[in-house]
Amino acid sequence: MVAIVDYGVGNLASIQNMFKKAGVRSEISGDAAVLESSCKILLPGMGHFDNCMIRLRMSGLLQTIERKVFKENTPLLGICVGLQMFMESSEEGTEKGLGWIDGKTVRFQPEQMDNGQKIPNMGWLDVDCQKNTPFWHGLENSRFYFAHSYHVAPTQVSDVLLTAQYGYQFCVGVQRNNIWGVQFHPEKSHRFGMQLLKNFAEL
């Protein structure tokens, strides 16, 4: 069972619906006991970085999540700001990030935009995978839906899993051990998003 963390942020029902379409059992919960019993964890995120960090810390769930991830090696997937929170900090706010991935979340650079590209980036982009991984099974030549003004900038190249092009090439997905994260919205990405969530559930 995949536990979708409910800390008051994110498109939870849409994520669960996409899991259902993929044939994967999931549960939306803010109960630590449910997270404890899960075999996978999905950390959503939407809106302002500081708000997400404050709400997650106030939820009382972070200790359980970190124990599952770092002590029990439970696979975790962060989506959108859920990914951005993995970093040490964000240019969007002043709160400290989780620090699970070395680096920070940065704003798109307007001077590097061309062809009328605007910030925020809203729409579909082709995504390329930089590693050979079952997480990307069946997703060659895939496109995903984005809605963001900030993106992660990992310090270590080895943490970069996925990249896309918007003015310049940037990181749209990370992976370190059992920690996975994507900037785009799988729940809004039709068959590509459904395949990705299915792959995550089967890791």
Active site residues: 80, 185, 187
Cα(16)–Cα(25) distance, integer angstroms: 8
Sheet harboring 168-176: ordered strands across? 26-29, 2-5, 40-43, 76-79, 179-182, 168-176, 160-166, 121-129, 142-148
Cα(105)–Cα(107) distance, integer angstroms: 7
Cα(69)–Cα(179) distance, integer angstroms: 8
